[in-house]
């Protein structure tokens, strides 16, 4: 995510391009081309294979309903004679809660869906409750032969559409070392002549509305830790800081609710009201917050720390003080004093967990992660440092 954001800054883009719509005319017909970014949240799921950490995006990607919602409601798109959606990954690579919603919406709205990634040059017409759609995966275009890509044949396709008869022909071509470019007659194994014929699926010219097919059931919350309680009760008064501490607070609270289950976290953030506007920022911080939380959980597992921090009277005292004071930025000193009053009770915990606490505070206050440009830099860091100080006092 960081590299992608750096690229956006380099090319002068101020917002993450979730999706884009291109309109043009050809042969007297209006064509709509819908470009979707299926790789925005790639590279997040990691697992161990043969002793090595590798990235596995299969069934962990999120394309996102908000990425296509406004585009499908665009009258110029819905009134186009031909509507084509283009995305890198096939539907099967999307996470479960996102897959059917996106698939049904695009199949209802589009005549063609083009994708790549797996580089298996096949073509099919798929049927769905909302409508039928022609799916065309792209072939590969490698300039070398290596074992891990040997299954991906160099191939391409071209499509002929007769608007008068509504007939579609998709021609498949593949490259052979000895013969060069030839008709791909072996893709389906049934002796096809190198092309497939379809009838253009009918589409309505009414804007498509997206309705979730299933409700998301909230996971059961477990007991909140002190760090979550601290963040949850902290009332930020600076509106310009919402992308800083408010997002941090939201993410940590969701992590707590979802018991540090990243997939559930994404599911709830994704479906929360007006969440997508800040989801890009949240997503870029997930690893930092997740790592921070795991560090804190590690602290809690220390026997001495568990005894001190887990005592209900300590938690009740902090909660009572929060309920009484409703702390804001102006109350930072009062809040710190209230939490600091418990410090003498946890001296033993400091000896056991000081290194982990320092790492936690360092993660939350890393200037390269959170600082802003201009005058907001000083305000941002002052508020963040005050907050991390109170967090440390809460833990201590």
Name the 3-class secondary structure at 135: strand
pLDDT at 154: 82
Chain centroid to Cα 222, Å, comes to: 24
Q: pTM to 2 decimals?
A: 0.52
**Average pLDDT, integer, range 103-114:** 91
> Where do the H-state alpha helices sit in the chain?
2-10, 65-72, 75-78, 96-109, 226-233, 247-257, 262-271, 276-301, 303-309, 312-325, 332-340, 347-364, 367-370, 376-395
Lowest-confidence range among 43-57, 74-88, 131-145, 329-343? Answer: 329-343
pLDDT over threshold 70, residue 12:
no
Most confident region among 177-186, 259-268, 313-322 by mean pLDDT = 177-186
Q: What is the CA radius of gyration of the chain?
A: 27
Most confident region among 210-219, 310-319, 370-379 by mean pLDDT = 310-319
- Residue 18: pLDDT band (50, 70, 90) is low
Name the 3-class secondary structure at 257: helix
Name the 3-class secondary structure at 79: coil
Q: Do 39 and 61 contact (CB within 8 A), yes or no?
A: yes
pLDDT over threshold 90, residue 114:
yes
- Residue 1: pLDDT band (50, 70, 90) is low
pLDDT at 8: 63
**Average pLDDT, integer, range 330-354:** 41
- Looking at per-residue pLDDT, the higher value among 111 and 226 belongs to 111
Q: How far is CA 251 from CA 28, 265, 319, 384, in A?
A: 50, 8, 21, 16
Torsion angle defined by CA atoms of residues 265, 269, 270 and 273, in that order, rounded to the nearest 10 degrees: 150
Round to whole Å and give the CA distance between 109 and 90. Answer: 17
Identify which of 332, 316, 342 has the alpha carbon closest to the alpha carbon of residue 234. 332
pLDDT tens profile 206-247: 665 444 444 333 333 333 344 444 444 443 333 433 444 444
Q: How many CB atoms lie within 10 A of CB 163?
A: 12
pLDDT tens profile 153-204: 788 888 999 999 999 998 888 888 788 888 887 765 556 677 888 999 998 8
């Amino acid at each position: 995510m960081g590299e992608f954001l750096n690229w956006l800054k380099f090319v002068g883009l101020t917002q993450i391009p979730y999706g884009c719509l291109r309109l043009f005319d050809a042969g007297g017909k209006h064509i709509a081309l819908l470009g979707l970014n299926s790789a925005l949240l790639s590279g997040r799921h990691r697992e161990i294979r043969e002793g090595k950490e590798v990235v596995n995006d299969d069934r962990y990607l999120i394309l996102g309903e908000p990425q296509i919602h406004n585009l499908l409601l665009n009258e110029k798109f819905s009134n186009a004679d031909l509507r084509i959606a283009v995305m890198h990954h096939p539907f099967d690579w999307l996470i479960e809660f996102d897959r059917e919603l996106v698939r049904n919406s695009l199949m209802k709205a589009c005549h063609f869906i083009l994708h790549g990634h797996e580089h298996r040059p096949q073509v099919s017409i798929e049927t769905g409750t909302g409508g039928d759609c022609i799916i065309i995966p792209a072939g590969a275009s490698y300039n070398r032969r290596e074992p891990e890509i040997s299954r991906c044949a160099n191939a391409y396709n071209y499509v002929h559409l007769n608007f008068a008869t509504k007939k579609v022909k998709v021609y498949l071509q593949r490259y052979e070392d000895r013969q060069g470019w030839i008709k791909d007659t072996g893709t389906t194994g049934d002796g096809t002549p190198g092309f497939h014929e379809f009838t253009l699926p009918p589409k309505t010219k009414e804007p498509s509305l997206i309705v979730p097919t299933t409700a998301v059931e909230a996971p059961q919350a477990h007991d909140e830790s002190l760090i979550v309680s601290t963040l949850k009760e902290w009332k930020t008064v600076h509106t310009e800081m919402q992308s800083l501490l408010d997002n941090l607070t939201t993410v940590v609270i969701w992590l707590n609710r979802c018991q540090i289950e990243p997939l559930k976290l994404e599911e709830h953030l994704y479906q929360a009201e007006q969440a997508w506007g800040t989801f890009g920022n949240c997503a870029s911080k997930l690893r930092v917050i997740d790592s921070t939380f795991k560090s804190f959980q590690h602290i809690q597992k220390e026997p001495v720390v568990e005894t001190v921090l887990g005592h209900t009277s300590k938690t009740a005292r902090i909660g009572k003080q929060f309920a009484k004071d409703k702390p804001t930025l102006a109350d930072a000193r009062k809040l710190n004093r209230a939490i600091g009053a418990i410090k003498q009770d946890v001296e033993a915990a400091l000896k056991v967990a000081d290194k982990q606490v320092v790492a936690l505070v360092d993660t939350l206050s890393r200037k390269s992660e959170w600082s802003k440009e201009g005058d907001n830099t000083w305000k941002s860091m002052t508020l963040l440092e005050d907050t991390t100080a109170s967090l440390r006092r809460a833990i201590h």
